[in-house]
C-alpha cells in the first residue's frame, strides 16, 4: 500500500481528487494498492468518478448494482466497500435481502439458459 505521505506527486494529485470528489480525508486500500501503477490508478479513478457520478440512475441504485456484480464475481473487498456505500445511501436490511435474492436468482437462471442453450424469443429482441 502506498500512503499519501510516500506517494509521488502524480499519485498525490489523484488521491487529492479522490478526497475532493468524495468529500473525505480517507483513501481506502484499493486506491493505495493501485498507486503502485499510477497509470492504472488514474484510469480506474477516472472511470469510477465518471460512472458513479449522478446520472439517470440514482446513487443507491448504482451501489446496489455494484454490490450485485461484486457478489457474483466473488470480490470480498468490493462487497464490503459497496455494502457500506449502499447503506450510506439508504439501503435497508430488507433491500439488501432482495438484492441478494435477485442476484442469486439471476445467476441460477442465467446458468440454466446458457446450459440449455435457450434461443432468444423474437419478442425479446430489440431492433
The Cα–Cα gap between 79 and 45 comes to 18
Radius of gyration of the chain from its Cα atoms, rounded to whole angstroms: 18
Of the candidates 18, 58, 70, which has an alpha carbon nearest to the alpha carbon of residue 42?
A: 18
The answer to whether residue 123 is domain-embedded is: no
Residue labelled with grid coordinates 450485485: 68
Please tell me whether residues 23 and 68 are part of one structural domain. Answer: no
- Give the CATH number, domain containing residue 95: 1.20.1290.10
User: What is the spatial distance between Cα 59 and Cα 85, in angstroms, rounded to a whole number?
Assistant: 9
- C-alpha distance across the termini of the chain, in Å: 48
Q: Do 108 and 57 fall into the same domain?
A: yes
Domain hosting 88: range is 53-117
Same domain, 66 and 106: yes
Q: What tens digit of pLDDT does each residue of 27-49 get? A: 999 999 999 999 999 999 999 99
Cell of 61: 441504485
Q: Are residue 30 and residue 63 in the same domain, yes or no?
A: no
Question: Is 124 within the bounds of a domain?
Answer: no
pLDDT bracket for residue 127 (50, 70, 90): confident
* pLDDT per residue as tens digits for the range 85-117: 999 999 999 999 999 999 999 999 999 999 999
Whether residues 58 and 89 share a domain: the answer is yes
Q: What's the rounded Cα separation, in Å, for the pair 19 and 25?
A: 5
Amino acid at each position: 500500500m502506498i500512503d499519501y505521505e510516500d506517494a509521488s506527486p502524480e499519485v498525490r494529485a489523484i488521491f487529492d481528487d479522490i478526497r475532493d470528489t468524495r468529500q473525505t480525508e480517507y483513501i481506502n486500500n484499493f486506491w493505495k494498492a493501485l498507486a503502485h501503477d499510477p497509470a492504472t490508478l488514474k484510469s480506474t479513478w477516472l472511470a469510477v468518478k465518471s460512472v458513479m457520478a449522478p446520472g439517470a440512475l440514482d446513487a443507491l441504485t448504482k451501489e446496489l448494482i455494484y454490490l450485485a456484480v461484486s457478489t457474483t464475481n466473488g470480490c470480498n473487498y468490493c462487497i464490503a466497500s459497496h455494502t457500506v456505500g449502499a447503506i450510506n445511501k439508504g439501503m435497508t436490511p430488507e433491500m439488501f435481502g432482495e438484492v441478494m435474492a435477485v442476484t442469486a436468482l439471476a445467476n441460477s437462471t442465467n446458468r440454466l439458459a446458457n446450459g440449455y442453450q435457450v434461443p432468444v424469443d423474437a419478442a425479446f429482441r430489440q431492433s
